[in-house]
Structure 1
């Protein structure tokens, strides 16, 4: 399996997994490779470092008695009791574009996984839940700017989040 660093014409960077270089070129030529952020099919391969299997190296270190102490590798550390502080505007401004893109994709994946798509019935479903006529659940869907404004004026908490159509398709 080859893991390639790819970039679309809009400069979004993402990863693709292919059986071989020929497999990547074949899929790209047929228009089967597209950016997960914007759907752009103008995809190029970026230079990338080889991926190393560090679990083999860790196993060799343990066999020779040079493994890190258990405290370093422990995943059972207690969870913090308070949520982490929000970043300052200066912190956000210094984040690399690839990190912002990764955070955005993580957030969108979480939202899509944990909401029900009600499509164009969004304003109607949001009102039913708000007024106790329907079960409370996490929903997403479509609303015009006017519908969104009316929901907000009624005291219904909604958040416009425009997403490209590519996010509505199955993800690898």
Structure 2
């Protein structure tokens, strides 16, 4: 896993983890990396300092327990999505496609999709966007 600091065209800064640098490039090219604040897909890597750790434990600082503006924005986004949309779990791709094709009434949904399912939805013009957080799995 690799951690990147990112920023969008509106100069919002956020962090994300990716399987590899190549995975980031592939997701970015497919329009699947979006700003955690405004949703823009015009995202690029921001300048980051390397994290080096000595042999001993890292010193504790007050900032480790403070909530950053990014964390607040992500928490607010999560709360809005979970409060206004239906969680459809692994059925996300089918549900999104059925709404797009007019087979079911439109509503706000979120869930999980395999990368190839998400890529196909995007290629077919189905309006979807990745969330900057992993949905909490809900049971019926």
TM-score (structure 1 length as normaliser): 0.41
Bigger share in strand = 2
TM-score (structure 2 length as normaliser): 0.50
